[in-house]
Structure 1
Amino acid sequence: MDDSVQKSCWSVTVKAAVGLAGIILLAWLFAGSESLAVIAAS
């Protein structure tokens, strides 16, 4: 049972990381690289 819980936890973590990367990529594509740098710095 512990194996399935740990595997599920990693699955959620990976999906969250990929989702966040996708959102950042879309923001970069639509806003431009310099705008994203301003957003990330603030």
Structure 2
Amino acid sequence: MDDTVQKSCWGVAVKASLGLAGIILLAWLFAGGDAVTVIAAS
């Protein structure tokens, strides 16, 4: 039972990380590198 809980937690963490990276990538593509630097710093 612990194995399934641990796998699901890692799955959520990986999906959240990929989602955040995707949002930052899209922001960089549409707004340019300077805007992403401001977003990441805040």
TM above 0.5, yes or no, is: yes
Q: Identity of paired residues, percent?
A: 76
Gaps of 5+ in 2: none
Residue 34 of structure 1 aligns with which residue?
Answer: 34
TM-score (norm 1): 0.86
The code of the aligned residue for 1:39 comes to I
Aligned residues: 42
Runs of 4+ aligned residues of structure 1 deviating over 6 Å after TM superposition are none
Gaps of 5+ in 1: none
Asked if residue 25 in structure 1 is aligned to residue 25 in structure 2, the reply is yes
Q: Deviations over 1:18-41 (max 9, x none)?
A: 000000000000000122223333
TM-score (norm 2): 0.86
